[in-house]
Structure 1
Amino acid sequence: MRSLFGLVLLVGIGLAGFAVYMVKGYMQTYEQQLAMERAQRPEPVPTVEVYVADRALRYGQPLRAEDVRKIKWPKEALPEGVFTDTAVLFPENGPERFILRSMEKNEAIMALKITEPGEPAGLTNRLEKGMRAFAIRVDVTSGVSGFLRPGDRVDVYWTGRNGSRQNGDVTKLIEAGIQLIAIDQSSSADEAQATIARTVTVSVNPQQVAALAQAQSSGRLSLSLVGAEDDTVAEAIEIDQNTLLGIEAPEPQEVVRQEEARTCSIRTRRGSEVVMIPIPCTD
């Protein structure tokens, strides 16, 4: 009986040892696989909580707390001018901010897209330092058939009579690549439909204001839309009727004035004959 008990005990110890060995091997394999998975796992990306639009926001609307929410944004890809602090975006008991550029849902709220607290969303926010707003009268032909929008760039051509020429009207490029900041009473660039404008407002410096005012009072202005990716510099352009029709202007004829040769003489009688004798003129 004792020998049987001893045999069972030995078998039990053997099975227990074998089980421990198997579990140990399994744990080692699991730890190796886990270490390999951790090594292949990318490092966590550091993030920063920033404010984004919680719904579509349009130009001129006031910005309120219910219009925004916070999300985690990759720190390395953080746009310039984002807001991370509630007190900065919404000062306590401070005046409202307004939308300057339209934003879609989940788009980051940035300083250039909203006004400072209390500032209106008007043209003054679109004018850079040293620039002025100037209105130009347009119609369906001079205004590019109504396809102009705030933010576009245009070339301005003047057509009028040049007082120093006798060959009719002349058309000349007077300003190139100036920016539109408003169409009629609207300064929003969200309107996609073509509308026939009566006035467009451009952003120019004081010298250009004087040139455009003189050109508008002395002739007719026409606008030419510049492509969004066009960075070429327009050359000086001037076309008159003769150039348009390929007519060469006649060269001015020089009038040569020749002084008549002056001669002086005296009369002398030789017998019955009177003879004229030339002499040097004294005066």
Structure 2
Amino acid sequence: MRMVYGLVLLVGVALAGVAVYMAQGYIAQAQSERDALLAAQARAPELVRVVVVKRALKYGERFSQADLEVIGVQAGKTPEGIFNAISVPMGTDPAFATVFYDGETRPRAALRSFEAYEPLLASKITAPGVDAGIMANLAPNMRAFTINVDIASGVSGFLRPGDLVDVYWYGQSGQREVTKLIEANLRLIAIDQSADADRSEETKIARTVTAEVSPSQVASLTLAQATGRLTLSLVGNNDTMEVGAIEVDRNSLLGISEEEAVAVEAAKVCTIRSRKAGELVLVEIPCTN
């Protein structure tokens, strides 16, 4: 009987030892996993709150708070103009960018198309209660000015809202025919009646383009359009060159010096034909061109 008790005691001690060993192993494994998780968290990049759209939006489509969601994005890997919150109370620190303030019920509208879960950008949406269009695209204190174009002056229909263009004027300056750069890097905000920068229809020739200009530029462009012909030149996305003043007349285009031009004008003889007593007579007259 004593042997049975002793055997049971021995088995119990052995099982207890095994249990202690297994518990120590489990604790050690748990501590190792905890340490690895803490190390991974320490190495993980900092995340910032970014507001995204939950569904695809087309140009001009309205959206409200229900169409938005907040996700975490790695700090330093976000585009300029993101929002950090969908809605916050009035008086919140302006550095904390929000799409709406509490109590705002007016929707905003998209100034370009968005894919689902694409970050919402301040420059690509209107203010609350404002629909997409020219008014929404104008910067503060700027004006919209429309320029008539055709296939040649309008860059063959390749212009889009948001493009930058240089404007050249061609006309008479005194007795000279002149082409001159009058405005550089004007931002287009509409093509014909469309302000949609994402329009995807095939290229078509525009009849008008609308540019964002200052009040003084409105005056100069109005005079230029009334007294000559305007031609647009598309500025490349990577263009950084300062073009400065550009003016070309016929003499400089052909490489004729001023002295040569004066000599040619002086040597020019203009005549008209007339009949006198039945004979053809050439009569010299002042040259007008």
TM-score by length of 1: 0.74
User: For the residues of structure 2 that align with 1:150 and 1:52, how far apart are their CA atoms?
Assistant: 24
Partner residue of 1:84 out of 83, 86, 97: 86
Q: Which runs of 5+ in 2 are unaligned?
A: 90-98, 264-289
Contact 2:192 2:208 in 1 (8 A): yes
Instruction: Pick closer, same or farther for the CA change 1:172–1:94 going to 2, 3 Å.
Output: same
Q: Deviations over 1:158-205 (max 9, x none)?
A: 111111x4xx41111111111111111111101243220111111111
What letter corresponds to residue 183 of structure 2 in structure 1? E
Contact 1:49 1:84 in 2 (8 A): no
Higher mean displacement: 199-208 or 122-131: 122-131
The alpha-carbon deviation at position 9 of structure 1 amounts to 5.1
User: For the residues of structure 2 that align with 1:181 and 1:222, how far apart are their CA atoms?
Assistant: 17
Partner residue of 1:155 out of 163, 166, 191: 166
What letter corresponds to residue 15 of structure 1 in structure 2? A
Q: Which runs of 5+ in 1 are unaligned?
A: 254-283
Instruction: Pick closer, same or farther for the CA change 1:49–1:143 going to 2, 3 Å.
Output: same
Instruction: Pick closer, same or farther for the CA change 1:118–1:6 going to 2, 3 Å.
Output: closer
Alignment-derived partner of residue 177 in structure 1: 185
Alignment-derived partner of residue 97 in structure 1: 108
Alignment-derived partner of residue 62 in structure 2: 62
Q: Does 2:254 align with 1:245?
A: yes
Alignment-derived partner of residue 186 in structure 1: 194
SS in 1 for 2:86: coil
Higher mean displacement: 116-125 or 239-248: 116-125
User: For the residues of structure 2 that align with 1:97 and 1:35, how far apart are their CA atoms?
Assistant: 46
User: For the residues of structure 2 that align with 1:112 and 1:22, how far apart are their CA atoms?
Assistant: 63
What letter corresponds to residue 165 of structure 2 in structure 1? V
User: For the residues of structure 2 that align with 1:104 and 1:25, how far apart are their CA atoms?
Assistant: 52
The alpha-carbon deviation at position 25 of structure 1 amounts to 4.4
Contact 1:142 1:221 in 2 (8 A): yes
Larger radius of gyration: 1
Aligned-residue Cα RMSD (Å) equals 3.0
The alpha-carbon deviation at position 234 of structure 1 amounts to 1.1
Instruction: Pick closer, same or farther for the CA change 1:8–1:49 going to 2, 3 Å.
Output: same
Alignment-derived partner of residue 223 in structure 1: 232
SS in 2 for 1:84: strand
Paired positions, count: 248
User: For the residues of structure 2 that align with 1:13 and 1:172, how far apart are their CA atoms?
Assistant: 104
What letter corresponds to residue 87 of structure 2 in structure 1? D
The alpha-carbon deviation at position 73 of structure 1 amounts to 2.2
What letter corresponds to residue 125 of structure 2 in structure 1? I
The alpha-carbon deviation at position 31 of structure 1 amounts to 4.2
Higher mean displacement: 168-177 or 93-102: 93-102
Instruction: Pick closer, same or farther for the CA change 1:41–1:157 going to 2, 3 Å.
Output: same
The alpha-carbon deviation at position 14 of structure 1 amounts to 4.9
User: For the residues of structure 1 that align with 2:228 and 2:235, how far apart are their CA atoms?
Assistant: 22
User: For the residues of structure 1 that align with 2:34 and 2:187, how far apart are their CA atoms?
Assistant: 60
The alpha-carbon deviation at position 104 of structure 1 amounts to 1.3
Q: Deviations over 1:28-68 (max 9, x none)?
A: 542443344234332477767764322221222222566x1
Contact 1:140 1:146 in 2 (8 A): yes
User: For the residues of structure 1 that align with 2:16 and 2:164, how far apart are their CA atoms?
Assistant: 85
